[in-house]
Amino acid sequence: VKPAIYRGWTLLLDGWLDFDLVIILLSWSFEQVQIIRAFRIFRALRLITRVETLRNLVLALFKVLPNLAAICCLLTLIFYIFAVMFTTLFKDNEAPYFKRLDASLFTLFQLMTLDYVDVVRPIVHEYYWSWSLFAIYLGIAGFIVFNLIIAVVVDAVADIEKESKQQREEEEEDNETYDVPTQLKDLRGEVLMLMQKQKESQAAMDSLAKELYRLHKISLPKKLRASRKELLGGGLNS
């Protein structure tokens, strides 16, 4: 409510706040429906808008979607090639892992997660040369492609954090730039204050000089009269 009052309709231009609003509305809408009440747990996703690290990670995932799509296409092609190969070579094995193409695809996905012991051992026990094919597949799908996905995401996160850092530095520079007129204004005020004090000091000194001059003019005739009396008194005595 506070952001809506403060920012008005421009609030809708912020994607993260829109996401937060959708989560809240969904939780309120399904509050009375017992089956769909579990949607309220999605309010935990609001943490993404609060924690900068999570926000950068989500932004990085959206940023690398085209690259991830290309990698997934490459991985699908690798799956299909090895699935056809393994189905052709190992369909006569008693294990049900490579009987059909769909079973082979699922098995290859399992192998990509490096859960290969229970799958590979029966095949290698019957076809001793098959270990080389599994090693090639695991090297390509389990290490190269999988690590390529991680590298793409990590690189995107690093770029997002770098952009955030640059944005913060630019904001700090802008704040410093905005502070310069304020500092100049304060400095000008201090200079004017010093000039005013200097004028007051000069006026006080002028007033003091005039007072001294006036006192000097008053005291001078008195001294002359005293000197005349002394002279007259000295003449009479002589």
pLDDT at 11: 61
The pair of three-digit structure tokens given for residue 63, joined into one six-digit string: 């940023």
Calculate mean pLDDT across residues 160-189.
72
More confident residue, 35 or 140: 140
DSSP per-residue codes, 24-82 = HHHHHHTSS-TTGGGGGGGGGGGHHHH-HHHHHHHHHHHHTHHHHHHHHHHHHHHHHHH
pLDDT at 236: 46
Could you tell me the pTM of the whole model?
A: 0.53
Query: Model confidence over 91-109: pLDDT tens digits?
Result: 888 888 888 899 999 999 9
Whether 223 has a pLDDT exceeding 70, the answer reads no
pLDDT band for position 9 (50/70/90)? Answer: low
CA distances from 168 to 15, 52, 175 (A): 20, 13, 10
Taking domain 65-180, whether its CATH number is 3.40.50.1000 is answered by no
Q: Where in the chain is the domain with CATH 1.10.287.70?
A: 65-180
From 61-65, 112-116, 175-179, 215-219, the region with the lowest mean pLDDT: 175-179
Q: What is the CA radius of gyration of the chain?
A: 45
Query: Model confidence over 41-85: pLDDT tens digits?
Result: 666 666 776 777 777 777 778 888 888 888 889 989 999 999 999
